[in-house]
Structure 1
Amino acid sequence: MPRSIAHQTVDELGGPGSVLARQRADHIELDRLLHELDGTTGTAQEAVLSRVDRLVFSHAFAEETVLWPVVRRVLPDGDALTLRIEKEHQEVNELVSALEADGPDDPRRPGRLARLVEVLREDVRDEEDELFPRLQAAVGVEELRRLGRRWELMRRLSPTRPHPTVSRRPLGNALSGLPLSLLDRTRDLVDAGVRRAPEQLVPVGKAVSTGLAGLAGLVERAPLSRRGDRPPTSR
């Protein structure tokens, strides 16, 4: 069994530009945020969750768009490997959507938060201990660096919010990515402004954020956004 990328040096991973090094750096930041999340409540918890969302969803969308097609091409069981991780990504989308929809006072919130942390940690272990070492063994260092550049570009253009009905595979994810990213990132700016705005402007900001969420919902549910999804992750 190839060695987990968690225990390799940056040079062994192909250098700082390698997709493996970039992925591990995100995983380290996620671990830090999950530790920060533990024990928080109220607005502090919402603030940390927002940072988790921005990291996790752009990271996963870039994986599904750039990396998983390569894994399915170069590994004989790549389809099964990526499908397992896509199911984890789908559950994260559904958990975060439920947390947002039901609010901080819902009695199911502690259980959902605990499950969210559990699934995120499972996803990291599946990638670092199995999928990425096998990808590392199947492609050369230059390919890992090329994938790193493509993944980083896609991550910067990817959605930052949960979209559970969008396909986890091409063609749907590729078609929906840019419009959802624009809407999500605009909404992130609006929500950040609401947190700093005078009280009399808060209702306006919240109305704008709700409108953007509605537009994102229309994009998410469009037939083209759902093309390519598999039954275990389709909604």
Structure 2
Amino acid sequence: MHGHRTIADQTLDQLGGESSVLARQRRDHVQLERLMAQYQDLGDGEDRERILKETVQLVFSHAFAEETVLWPAVRRCVPGGDELTARVEEEHQQINDLVTDIERLAPGDPEREQRVQQAFTLIRQDIRDEEDLLLPRLQDAVDTADLRRLGRSWELVRKTAPTHPHPVVPRRPPGNAVLGVPLSLYDRIRDALGFAASAPSLIKKLFGGLAGLLLSAAAAVTTVRKRR
């Protein structure tokens, strides 16, 4: 037992090794802090936009893996887990809304930069809540083998997760998992072709319609699960 000690200053062995979900989470958090610092140090221009794009892609793939794999485990295993994850999910939703605005606004717009700074503040708060509050409790509740199993599942989901905000995506399974595959494909087409804010209208209409259908399916699955 670690007594709810923050994972920020634990050794790799204490976290359960390289493949542990705790170690994987912390690596992403370190990378996010590095990207945000680089953004702050750069002046306006293509490099700054590239760093912002990398930050957004990591934020959303990371959060999707948490919501699909990690937070359900916390709710199952950690006393008060539902309340703990609800707090982090609310932070994720706020970040989602801010980044939606950021992607709508043009570079150089003062309102856009304000949204960026608000998003960075929330990302840092989210990191602290996870590393100091939520993940240490999961560490106390499960063994190292479980942390490594969760880590492998988390990594698989993260590599195939959406990389941009989507208002239609629920924060919890099964809805997020149902929508994740098509929206991830949509995002990765955008990323590969360098679209800053939106895809061509045909692609957008195609995926928008598919997302609507899948959201309805996800709602139906949720209803069935609740009735059992």
TM-score (norm: length of structure 2): 0.88
1:41-90 Cα offsets, whole Å, 9 max, x none, are: 23222211110111111110011000111101111211111111111111
Q: Which amino acid aligns with 1:118?
A: T
The one of 63, 79, 82 aligned to 1:60: 63
Which residue matches 2:225?
A: none
Distance in 2 separating the partners of 1:187 and 1:94: 19
Distance in 2 separating the partners of 1:90 and 1:213: 22
Structure 1 unaligned regions, length at least 5: 196-205, 230-235
Distance in 2 separating the partners of 1:15 and 1:29: 18
Q: Which amino acid aligns with 1:186?
A: I
1:139-160 Cα offsets, whole Å, 9 max, x none, are: 0000000000000001011111
Which residue matches 1:232?
A: none
Is contact 1:176-1:225 (8 Å) kept?
no
Is contact 1:96-1:162 (8 Å) kept?
yes
Count of aligned positions = 217
Q: 1:104-119 to 2 correspondence within 5 Å?
A: 104-119=107-122
Runs of 4+ in 1 over 2 A off after TM superposition: 42-45, 206-229
Which residue matches 1:26?
A: 28
Q: Which amino acid aligns with 1:15?
A: G
Structure 2 unaligned regions, length at least 5: 223-228
1:97 Cα deviation from its structure 2 partner: 0.8
Is contact 2:182-2:211 (8 Å) kept?
no
1:114 Cα deviation from its structure 2 partner: 1.1
Is contact 1:30-1:52 (8 Å) kept?
yes
The one of 36, 39, 48 aligned to 1:37: 39
Is contact 2:190-2:198 (8 Å) kept?
no
Is contact 1:18-1:144 (8 Å) kept?
yes
1:35 Cα deviation from its structure 2 partner: 0.2
The structure-2 alpha-carbon separation of the partners of 1:45 and 1:190, relative to structure 1 and needing over 3 Å to count, comes to: same
Is contact 1:219-1:225 (8 Å) kept?
no
Distance in 2 separating the partners of 1:168 and 1:220: 15
Residue aligned with 1:12, SS: helix
Asked if residue 224 in structure 1 is aligned to residue 221 in structure 2, the reply is: no
Alignment RMSD, CA only? 2.2
Which residue matches 1:101?
A: 104
Is contact 1:165-1:226 (8 Å) kept?
no
Q: 1:145-224 to 2 correspondence within 5 Å?
A: 145-191=148-194, 209=200, 211-222=202-213, 223-224=215-216
Distance in 2 separating the partners of 1:49 and 1:5: 26
The structure-2 alpha-carbon separation of the partners of 1:63 and 1:117, relative to structure 1 and needing over 3 Å to count, comes to: same
Which residue matches 2:76?
A: 73
The structure-2 alpha-carbon separation of the partners of 1:88 and 1:216, relative to structure 1 and needing over 3 Å to count, comes to: farther
Q: Which amino acid aligns with 1:165?
A: V
1:170 Cα deviation from its structure 2 partner: 1.2
The one of 4, 7, 12 aligned to 1:10: 12
Among all aligned residue pairs of Structure 1 and Structure 2, give the percentage whose two residues are the same amino acid: 50
The structure-2 alpha-carbon separation of the partners of 1:220 and 1:88, relative to structure 1 and needing over 3 Å to count, comes to: farther
Distance in 1 separating the partners of 2:157 and 2:204: 22
The structure-2 alpha-carbon separation of the partners of 1:212 and 1:46, relative to structure 1 and needing over 3 Å to count, comes to: farther
Which residue matches 2:123?
A: 120
Asked if residue 50 in structure 1 is aligned to residue 53 in structure 2, the reply is: yes
